[in-house]
Amino acid sequence: MIEKILRGKPAYWMWLAFLGSFIAIGAACYARQYLFGLGLTGMSRDVSWGLYISQFTFLVGVAAGGVMLVLPYYVHNYKVFGKITILGEFLAIAAIVMCMLFIMADLGQPLRAVNVILHPTPHSMLFWDMCVLIGYLSLNILCGWVILTAERKGVHPPRWIYFFVYLSIPFAVSIHTVTAMLYCGLPGRHFWLSAIIAPRFLASAFAAGPALIVIACLVLKRVANFDAGKQAMDKLVTIIMYAAMLNTFFVLLEVFVGYYSNIPGHKHSIEYLFFGLEHHGHVYNNLVPFMWTSVVLNFSALGLFSLPYVRRKNEFLLGLSCVMIFLALWIDKGLGFVFAGFVPSPLHEIVEYIPTLNELGITIGVWATGFFILTVLYKIVVGVEHEIES
């Protein structure tokens, strides 16, 4: 099936070359960082995690989101998703590769990464995160490949594969739960120390992942003549809506707990995100415009989704709403959640984090790598579908 990658229209090659140029920029920036050290980033003693870890956190969610297709199709036998379930599985592969690249980019001593395996430490959540991420990646490669091969040959997939398909469902939940546990088990970081972090992560993941799949389906329909089907898209949008509403509800609960309890530690980070935090006469408010953009995008997208016209008739507005909700969740989790956890610092100082150009270059490079992998994988899917049809 790999040979499908090598035949494509000029637009396909142009798109890959476009992504390739960003990958090259990312690689050059990483070479600089590798030689000098993480001092080339905007991270500091007080904000010790930045864009890399926040992108990692968000992308674990995108990977877990694929389960919103696998679960209805394989467990509830929801046939409508038959054609696009593979898209969810392959999206998970691309997203997890990005996660791993972001982790490697974030390590101060990347050559020692194997120490996590050489000295396994069950009391560290990072150890478990590595285990479930590698597990989920392998499961998706295995299931996606075996099922697509069977589809191509026009036969039923072998029965043993269903064991791994069902296993991938708890794994999808576990990757994002364990990622939440990286944060929510740390004493002294009030913003993260909340039992609702894991459910909130899952809710936003189940909106962001499917939103990306809807966007991909709309693009594939135009450029590759691949139609996912109206009913499937409609159901996906329903899933996105419920998940995004749950996420909004969870965030509002955090706001209630902070402000009604009136405990300063619980309010500080929320205040910093949405209104700016005053300290020694200076107001720190870097993230305020981003967060309000996220709020506006979130509610506008939910409003648009609720209109049957958008869901079923106008593909442009549908795509736009999906981009909006994806961006809203990216700002919420891929920026705000991680950065605000460090404000204020344990010694009640406020240090704001501004990523450097080099750091942005690496970040864009990793995203481009992910989309490169996604493009190539989806090319295989589309090629196989066309082969079956003809």
Partner 1 sequence: MDKQRRNFLKIASVTALAGIGAPALVRLTSTAAVASEHVAAAGHAPAKEKAGAHGEAAPKGVRLGMVIDMRRFVENPRLLNNAIAACNLVHNIPQIDNSKSEIKWLWKAPFTSVFPEQSAYHAAGNVENTSFAVLCNHCDDPPCVRACPTQATFKIPGNGIIAMDYHRCIGCRFCMAACPYGARSFNWEDPRPYIKKYNPDFPTRMRGVVEKCNFCGERLALGQEPACVEACKGTGAMVFGDLNDPKSEIRRLLDKEFTIQRNASLGTKPSVFYIV
Q: Can you tell me which of 17, 155, 195, 347 binds partner 1, judged by CB under 8 A?
A: 347
By CB under 8 A, the count of residues binding partner 1 is 44
How many whole angstroms separate alpha carbon 209 and alpha carbon 63? 7
Give the pair of three-digit tokens for residue 236.
Answer: 């996906």
SS3 283: strand
Q: Does 36 bind partner 1 (CB under 8 A)?
A: yes
Mark residues 182-221: x for contact with partner 1 by CB under 8 A, - for none: xx--xxxx--------------------------------
Q: Which region among 45-53, 137-145, 160-168, 288-296 touches partner 1 (by CB under 8 A)?
A: 45-53
Query: Of these, 89, 106, 151, 359, which contacts partner 1 (CB under 8 A)?
Result: 106
Contact status, residue 22 vs residue 355, Cβ threshold 8 Å:
no
CB of 111 to partner 1, least distance (A): 9
Alpha helix stretches (DSSP H) within the chain? 10-36, 51-65, 67-70, 85-106, 115-118, 125-153, 160-184, 197-224, 230-261, 264-274, 288-305, 308, 315-331, 338-340, 357-389
CB 51 within 8 A of CB 330: no
Task: Give the closest residue to 300 by CA, choosing from 328, 319, 278, 336.
Answer: 328
| 281: contact with partner 1 by CB under 8 A | no
- Applying CB under 8 A, among 1, 14, 75, 124 the residue interacting with partner 1 is 124
Binding map of partner 1 across residues 139-178, x = CB under 8 A, - = no contact:
----------------------------------------
- Single-letter residue type at 331: I
The nearest distance, CB 188 to partner 1, in angstroms, is 3
Query: Terminal CA-to-CA distance of the chain, rounded, Å?
Result: 16
Residues binding partner 1 (CB under 8 A): 36-39, 41, 43-46, 48-49, 103, 106-110, 112-113, 115-116, 118-119, 121, 123-127, 130, 182-183, 186-189, 341-342, 345-349, 351
